Structure 1
Amino acid sequence: MTTALILNSTITCPNCGFQQQELMPVDSCQYFYTCRNCEAYLKPLHGDCCVFCSYGSVKCPPIQQGISCCGH
């Protein structure tokens, strides 16, 4: 039995704490994200493949599936 992927993740800005729910891409990483409140330009933390893995409430779909994401 396979577990369904969760495609929505809430990104929390580390700069201002603003939260925004976003739909994650299933076939690519999202490396950059701009906060809609303070306009901070977010990049993944060291060791993470994308902004969802660093700042999201749910890891990106490839990581959920246990596969390599964007070569990491």
Structure 2
Amino acid sequence: MALLSTREGADVSLVQPPEERVDAERGRGEVAEQGRRCLLPPGDLSAPGVLPRARRTDVGGTRRAGTAW
């Protein structure tokens, strides 16, 4: 989903637990190949408070956030 968003011009954040960091780094490389920016905030999205904090992460300086599931 993140790659589809980048093809439409979006910068993205890939929230992941620490054990998924290697996969997230690979995803960040694929996003960069599309010419977009990608943040990798750590977190378990099932934990309370992680999703709101991740949504506040500012990727492109716009303070706008979208969520793709």
* TM-score between both structures, scaled by the size of structure 1: 0.30
Q: Max radius of gyration: which structure?
A: 1
**Higher helix content, 1 or 2:** 2
